[in-house]
Amino acid sequence: MSLATLVKVRSSFKLKILVVGSANSGKTSFCSKYSNSFSQRFRETIGVDIYVKDELLPDGKFVTLSCWNCASQEKFYSSYSTFFRGALGAFVLFSVNDLESFRVAKKYIEEIRTRINGIPILLIGNKVDLEKERQVDYNQAKEYAHKLNLAGYIETSTKEDINISKAYAVLSEIVYFYIHSGRKEFDINNLDLKTQKKIDEL
């Protein structure tokens, strides 16, 4: 059986996930670490790299994640409407050792909600291996995510491989339940208790 056939048999459905953030947030490493660099690279030409991987959900179903790593350069902003179309979830990354990248994260959250309001957004504080250089407090970022009704906040390190797979697994589960809830907009309070507990433990 070919890989293409296997993916077709195993995958119950496909999810388009956005990955956005400042240029130094580690977005590319965050995607490639998870997908083992299985990607289609268009960054230099149209401003997006697409990473694909299957994810196993708690109920035993497989979902194919199509992660769109959107370039942060201003010249590609006009393409965001095309990049964002059809997305069902998003990661917004910043670097915990760069306060400005945390501030810029709000811009990307607003950008997503302006174009596709209602989808789950998981805030990612990356580069926790640089703890001695930290500029953004964990509780500050977690409270910020709660205030904006985001899907949650999780800290990661691509260098040390900390919470990368966990972040993708949690967002996949959140999006899955969001889709099957039939609701037009995501609200963390509408998730089942089991999923909410996973978010609280991030």
- Mean pLDDT estimate for the chain: 84
* Global pTM value: 0.86
Contacts 24+ apart (CB under 8 A), 29-37: 29/158, 29/159, 30/91, 30/93, 30/124, 30/126, 30/156, 30/158, 30/164, 31/67, 31/69, 33/158, 33/161, 33/164, 34/67, 34/164, 34/165, 34/168, 35/67
Domains and CATH numbers, the chain: 3-200 (3.40.50.300)
pLDDT band at 79 (very low <50, low <70, confident <90, very high): confident
pLDDT tens for 25-56 read 999 999 988 887 544 554 444 678 889 888 88
Least confident of 14-23, 66-75, 179-188, 190-199: 190-199
